[in-house]
Structure 1
Amino acid sequence: MPGLGNVGERVRDLRLSRRLSQAQLAGHDLSDSYISLIESGKRTPTPAVLRLLAERLGCTAEYLSEGIAPEQRAHLEVRERHADLALLDGRPDAALAGFDEVIEHTDDPELTARSRWGRARALEAMDRFAEAIGALEALREQAERDPGRSSWLPPVISLARCYHAAGDLGQAIALGERALARLHELELTVGQEHTEVSRVLLLAYVDRSEPARAHGLGRSVLVGAETAGASIALAYQRASAKALEDGDIGDALFFAEQALAAHVEGARAEAHARLQMAGARALLRGTAPYGIGDAVEGNAAQEALDLLRACAPALRGAEATQCAIETARALVLLDEPAQAVDAAEQALDRLAGDSTPELVNGTRALETVRARLVLAQARLAQGDRTTTSSVLRAAAGELDRLTPGRPTAHLYRELGDLYESTGDINGATTAYRRALEAAGLRPISRAQSIASNAVGL
């Protein structure tokens, strides 16, 4: 529980509990009369004085200023986060109880502000719109009084949504248009805020039988979404910079936080996409493109293709190229050779150009061979043996320049399988021999084989 009273009362209560006089607490640095003024509430101690008093009273400066001990503050910080999680989990009643508890037991302005915002959102989620509107109006007024501390945009957008739900279309439209105008001032036409306020306005226009305004807004929103070239994180960053130039610190801080959150979400999406591609490669491992003649289940290839198509938009650079190669591999297995050719050639185009700068020369060469081998498999499935042979010769020439090792040996083995499928036994034999050499094994010559058989080896 937080300490009762104000700073002066906490200083006095702790001093008496430690059985110190005002003069003893003052020491050589302060005067006892100054301590008396602090305890009576007539003077507010500076941060330096607070730290000095806290050291002599055996507490923290935070406790003296806010009335809450560090461990109690940590508990309330966790409680506020748990309330946020409850709201995200669809348990607004539990969230409301958590936010109310934090508000009751803390004097910290930042923690109180976060909890009041969470409380308003919980009330809205419980369809208690009148109470939510009251809470949000208070937050909006606070933000407008102190624009350097917080942005008024989040409560205004929530207010527009609540007024619409409560049937007050006039207020919903007035607030929504105000928020949308502010976003346009900041040149922000993407992101959660723009999407949500546009949605609320569209619904309000329709409900108030204003189709012309609804159609106009709908067209502008859709065109803006299609033509927005910058990433959401970058758009937020630019909006934050513009707000800062305009002196709107609250908006600048808010959109800076949104930019950071968008970067985190982007990183999470990219990490998930990498996981999906790894899963697809695992499903395809051991199938025909990795070793001709091995069994493969069609549903595994389809599952791999679904994963690859899902992760492709989030991948960039080298991983996007690898995704295209694996997509071609899956399409071959699913008897879609024409699509497989397109995917493999797309990968080769990326590898030949500057669009895959993350690939170092050795890795680029390996990926190029992989792409050519999948392309050869697709051409073979189309019955085009002439083109298949040409692609295989190009792959063989590139393989011969690679450093020996396990990856090179694996590719030589795949090359041999493909040569064998085309009926080129000499090419297959050479590829298999080079696979052994790349793996560090010396093939047994025909003379050695005859000699070994002669002695019964």
Structure 2
Amino acid sequence: MRDDLVDLLRTIDSAVLGERIRTARLRAGLTQSQVAGDAVSVGYVSRIESGQRRPDTGLMAVIADRLAVTVDELLLGVAPDRIAELRLQLDHAELALATGSPDETLEIVGRILVDPAVEDLAELRRSAGYVRASALEATGDLQEAILVLEDLAEASPPDLDWIDGLTALSRCYRESGELGRAIEVGTQGTRHIEEYELDGLDEAIRLSLTVAAAYYEQGDAAYAARLCQRAIDRAEAVASPVAKAMAYWNSSVIESMRGNASAALPMTRRALAVIEATEDARNIARLRTHLGILQLRLDPPEPQEALELLTHAADELAFTGAGPADLADNRIAQARARFLLGDVDGARRQASETATVVRSSMPILAADAFALLGQIAVHEDALDTARSHFQEAVLLLSGMGADRAAAQLWFELAGLLESVSEPAAALDAYRRAAAATGLVAPSSRRMTPATTR
């Protein structure tokens, strides 16, 4: 008998098991005496069926054989063929997600989770939950994904799927602006990883890198960089291609956000070279997008090379079912590359379409798109239009929390507002940039000395 069935036999409700054995016996048209045979007494079979006794593994196998059913069916309450059918459906759902159809994934998983047979299949139900969370994240429904992942984090055992689930939860918290929760979840996961000595596994390294990203967004760039360096060291030590690619990738993101694109570029190229040897098509596409963005941040920028990379990556992202944030990042970068190359109409069209798509779900990306539209308007001497676009960006950013990405965009927006003779708005944007990094005005820190009487 398989180990998981042995464990289930020890913990299953005796009354539930007894009822299943009785139902199978009646269905087979056998008496308790025929089931007992020479293995046990008729009275013992009767007590098993009434839930007063629990058979050991040997007797369980004998009973299942005489009833012409499997041990799986008696312990799980579901026939093996039905279990195989449900697992095949879940495989189909995962394939749909991997090929860019998260809505189809949600439809399939929804059918699986309401199937009465799944009620007794805890592992299958758990796996379906993780697939559902991934599909929800891919559609941009971060709040619903968080609810699913929070439940799974509490109910799941601390195994590799659980670690991946914590990584997804931390990432969803970060993308929704809940940076404190993103760090807290990662820290809890790290304690369990250390306890079970799983530090060198790809899953553990991915979690630490996700937490590093949250620290960076919170403004602690130095600590985030150290976490990434530790992840690189662990990945090199265990010679894991996936972990190395993720570590170099996250380090390059942090370097680029610190304004050091020239240092980030070789890290990204190294990560891409490593991950291209794998079959992780989605992350290959995401890395190509990141590399294209870095080429636009160089001094001087390399827009032609960037656009070629970005258009290639866009096709790959669409095929692999990337999330809306990845698609939006790519499209905004493409628009910026087209603007630098002189394709003003193409840049405006792509930035405008992206702003419309992500405005309600991803305000910081929409603000970035509106800021680019404002730059295009300035280029065309349409200053009123530019002011309108910049104000749209201001409104979107005003609803954001304090994080590094928001601070960077506020700072860039301040300079753009200055360029259209909006000094008051520019000053306010500079102040908001400072506030988003955690800085406070001197007056709020001023202390009143004690007076003597």
Q: Same fold (TM over 0.5)?
A: no
TM norm structure 1: 0.43
Task: Decide which structure has the larger Cα Rg and report it.
Answer: 1
TM-score (norm 2): 0.44
> Which structure's relative contact order is higher, taking Cα pairs within 8 Å and 6+ residues apart?
2
